[in-house]
Amino acid sequence: MIRAIFFDFYGVWTPDVFAEHLAEAQQFGPAVADELYGMVRRYFAGLASPEEVAQAFRIKLSRPDIDTAQFVLRENDIFPAITEFMRGLHGHFVKLGILAELGAQEYQLLNNFNQHNQVFEAIVSPLSLQMDRPLLSNEVFDAALNAIGEPTRNTLVVTANPDYVAFAQNLGIGTLTYQDFPKLQQDLEQVLSQTETS
């Protein structure tokens, strides 16, 4: 029985501000791609600012049009329809959480959002846990499950990231691959109605 749902952040709640530029970096060869992936990892570890990320992408991709504003999130960047849907999920007596790579600004944004909307029981990332571990690690997932208070068998994760899906499945956590919001609504309503009748 599904009692808790964890959502990834980028790609589900907001557009992924890094993905497009990281994909472009692949065209510059492995050295450039690795350096920019490293910068993004530093950002999610709290070791680089949005300004530093923008500068690295601007220089390495020879793109003077890239500016810091592209990497700064505001609450209105969160897809509007998802908030009401999250409130509806609480009607199924399901706990909701975020389990994702979050930099300091994403974590603050979600905490502020949650103060206004009261939809999450847990907001978890390696940075918020102060763990020097990747998101896809047993330690981070264990901490997230403890924070939301449910075992793996009662938990579902929603993400567009295939590595995240595979990792969660290996731990025995159910998964939904995010494609778009209407499909997410349909899939979750179906999963939860099956859960409630079983």
Residue 57 has pLDDT above 90, yes or no: yes
Residues listed for the chain: 198
Residue 58 has pLDDT above 80, yes or no: yes
Do 12 and 178 contact (CB within 8 A), yes or no?
yes
pLDDT given for residue 108 in this prediction: 93
pLDDT (mean) for 89-104? 91
163-191 per-position pLDDT tens digit: 999 999 999 999 999 988 889 989 988 88
Do 158 and 12 contact (CB within 8 A), yes or no?
yes
pLDDT given for residue 196 in this prediction: 61
pLDDT given for residue 197 in this prediction: 58
Give the fold, CATH level 3, of 4-14+77-197: Rossmann fold (3.40.50)
pLDDT (mean) for 124-148? 95
pLDDT given for residue 198 in this prediction: 56
Q: Where in the chain is the domain with CATH 3.40.50.1000?
A: 4-14+77-197
Outline where the chain has alpha helix (H): 19-26, 30-44, 50-60, 80-90, 104-117, 126-129, 138-148, 162-170, 181-197
pLDDT (mean) for 118-145? 95
Residue among 82, 67, 81, 80 at smallest CA distance from 17? 67
**Residues with Cβ < 8 Å from 15, sequence gap 6 or more?**
77
Token pair for 141 = 């997932």
pLDDT given for residue 25 in this prediction: 96
**Residues with Cβ < 8 Å from 10, sequence gap 6 or more?**
16, 17, 18, 19, 100, 101
pLDDT (mean) for 2-28? 91
pLDDT given for residue 91 in this prediction: 78
